[in-house]
């Protein structure tokens, strides 16, 4: 089709993923449309049909995008691959747009948070950035090893992407070593600590989330996004777009959990957690330790590893590989028995 401002505005949104519309006037030039409504100019070239994002429709004019596509095609044809001068912000927006088209919303959120929070280079040209420019923000995270590790991994992926796009003629991170992440935690809460944390929880979204973590052992990011539509009877079904492993996960919840399955959206976990530590007198623990505590308690109650792993949606070990691929049994009866045992045990722990 011939791309014009009018025809681009009329392009239909795909039901899922992205659709590409090519231009009759310039081979390889086109528009990518995402299910969320984002429209971007793209150039497809070479034997591997490499796709490059030229910019977003509405921000870049059609004539400018088509001219840029012609210029790049000419360079590729002549064998010229000089780096294209791009600012940090403009290249980052292009990168995040590509991440958005290929990944889940949670993945995009992680990329955006780490790259925009820790690496604020603004309009600085990519080629002007040195290894020391990247080392400084990483050094500021030396007391947060896990955050520093993740920040480095995300920025390395972005810089490698920019290098492949010919926005850089060398990678400034090549000789930088990946910072060590935090050591694997082994902390579980004792029965007394669970009792104190539970009774110190405020009657607000944060308090309800903490109690659900104790009751159900799911991940914090999944629990805080549970919606009424995901609840049916005594079952909660987390969609694959929400779970860490990308698999839909259905599990029964204890009767005690029902009053807390409401208004769970919350921000400001760090401050709320600090207040809870002060109120409960329990320190040196994380919200994720509640998941480890839950899993450990199930084992102590005689719940089989297979059932316990299925309940917390953990696919390593017995649920990984061939077993996970071919075992499609839902284990709901066994999980209900496990939940009943856990609830009975927890009731005795939480008694005043």
Domain with residue 65: its CATH number is: 3.30.160.390
User: Domain check: are 69 and 17 in the same one?
Assistant: yes
- pLDDT tens digits, 17-44: 889 999 999 999 999 999 888 899 999 9
Query: Does a structural domain hold residue 181?
Result: no
User: Domain check: are 105 and 62 in the same one?
Assistant: no
User: Domain check: are 199 and 309 in the same one?
Assistant: yes
Looking only at the bridges linking them, the beta strands covering 39-45 and 50-56 are antiparallel
> CA nearest 263: which of 237, 228, 236, 222?
228
- State residue 15's pLDDT score: 86
Q: Domain of 66? A: 5-78
Domain with residue 95: its CATH number is: 1.10.150
User: Domain check: are 218 and 336 in the same one?
Assistant: yes
User: Domain check: are 335 and 229 in the same one?
Assistant: yes
- State residue 284's pLDDT score: 92
pLDDT per residue of the chain (352 residues) written in tens, 0 to 9: 899 999 999 999 998 888 999 999 999 999 999 988 889 999 998 877 888 888 889 888 999 999 999 988 887 777 655 556 789 999 999 999 999 888 878 788 889 999 999 999 999 999 889 999 999 999 999 888 889 999 999 999 999 999 998 888 889 999 999 998 766 678 999 999 999 999 999 999 999 999 999 999 999 989 999 999 999 999 999 998 888 888 899 999 999 999 999 999 888 888 999 999 999 999 999 999 999 999 999 999 999 999 999 999 987 555 544 454 445 588 999 999 999 999 999 999 999 7
- State residue 79's pLDDT score: 64
Query: Does a structural domain hold residue 291?
Result: yes
The number of CA neighbours under 13 Å toward the Cβ of 190 is: 6
Domain boundary among 49, 78, 107: 78
- State residue 139's pLDDT score: 93
- State residue 320's pLDDT score: 47
Query: Does a structural domain hold residue 129?
Result: yes
Query: Does a structural domain hold residue 115?
Result: yes
Number of domains in the chain: 3
Query: Does a structural domain hold residue 169?
Result: no
Domain boundary among 51, 78, 105: 78
3-state secondary structure the chain: CCCCHHHHHCCCCCCCCEEEEECCCCCCEEEEEECCCCEEEEEEECCCCEEEEEEEECCECHHHHHHHHHHHHHHHHHCCCCCCCCEHHHHHHHHHHHHHHHCCHHHHHHHHHHHHHHCCCCCCEHHHCCHHHHHHHHHCCCCCHHHHHHHHHHHHHHHHHHHHCCCCCCCCCCCCCCCCCCCCCCCCCCHHHHHHHHHHCCCCHHHHHHHHHHHHCCCHHHHCCCCHHHEECCEEEECCCCCCCCCCEEEECCHHHHHHCCCCCCCCHHHHHHHHHHHHCCCCCCHHHHHHHHHHHHHHCCCCHHHHHHHCCCCCHHHCHHHHHHCCCCCHHHHHHHHHHHHHHHHHHHCC
Query: Does a structural domain hold residue 177?
Result: no
User: Domain check: are 159 and 253 in the same one?
Assistant: no
205's tokens: 């979204």
Domain boundary among 127, 146, 164: 164
- pTM of the predicted model, to two decimals? 0.57
User: Domain check: are 197 and 271 in the same one?
Assistant: yes
User: Domain check: are 204 and 321 in the same one?
Assistant: yes
Distance CA 298, CA 306 (A): 11
- State residue 194's pLDDT score: 98
- State residue 134's pLDDT score: 96
User: Domain check: are 214 and 267 in the same one?
Assistant: yes
Query: Does a structural domain hold residue 173?
Result: no
Query: Does a structural domain hold residue 153?
Result: yes
Domain with residue 334: its CATH number is: 1.10.443.10
User: Domain check: are 19 and 145 in the same one?
Assistant: no
């Amino acid at each position: 089709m011939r791309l014009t401002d009018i025809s681009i505005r009329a392009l239909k949104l795909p039901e899922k993923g992205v659709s590409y519309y090519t231009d009759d006037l310039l081979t390889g030039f086109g528009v990518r449309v995402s299910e969320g409504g984002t429209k971007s100019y793209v150039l497809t070239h070479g034997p591997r049909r490499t796709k490059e994002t030229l910019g977003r429709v509405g921000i870049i004019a059609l004539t400018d995008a088509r001219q840029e596509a012609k210029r790049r095609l000419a360079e590729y044809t002549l064998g010229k691959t000089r780096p294209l001068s791009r600012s940090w912000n403009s290249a980052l927006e292009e990168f995040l747009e590509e991440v958005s088209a290929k990944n889940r919303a949670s993945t995009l959120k992680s990329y955006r948070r780490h790259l925009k929070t820790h690496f604020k280079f603004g309009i600085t040209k990519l080629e002007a950035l040195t290894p020391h420019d990247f080392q400084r923000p990483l050094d500021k995270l030396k007391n947060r090893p896990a955050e520093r590790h993740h920040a480095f991994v995300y920025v390395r992926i972005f810089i490698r992407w920019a290098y492949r796009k010919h926005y850089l003629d060398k990678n400034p991170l090549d000789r930088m070593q990946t910072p060590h992440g935090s050591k694997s935690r082994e902390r579980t809460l004792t029965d007394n600590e669970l009792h104190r944390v539970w009774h110190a929880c405020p009657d607000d979204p944060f308090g309800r989330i903490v109690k659900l973590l104790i009751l159900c052992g799911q991940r914090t990011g999944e629990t805080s996004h549970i919606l009424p539509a995901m609840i049916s009877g005594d079952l909660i079904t987390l969609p694959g777009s929400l779970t860490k492993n990308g698999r839909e996960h259905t599990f029964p919840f204890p009767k005690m959990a029902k009053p807390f399955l409401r208004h769970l959206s919350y921000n400001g976990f760090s401050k709320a957690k600090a207040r809870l530590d002060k109120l409960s007198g329990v320190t040196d623990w994380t919200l994720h330790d509640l998941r480890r505590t839950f899993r450990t308690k199930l084992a102590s109650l005689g719940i089989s590893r297979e059932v316990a792993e299925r309940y917390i949606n953990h696919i390593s070990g017995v649920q990984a590989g061939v077993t996970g691929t071919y075992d499609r049994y839902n284990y709901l009866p066994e999980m209900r028995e496990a939940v009943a045992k856990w609830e009975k045990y927890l009731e005795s722990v939480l008694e005043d």
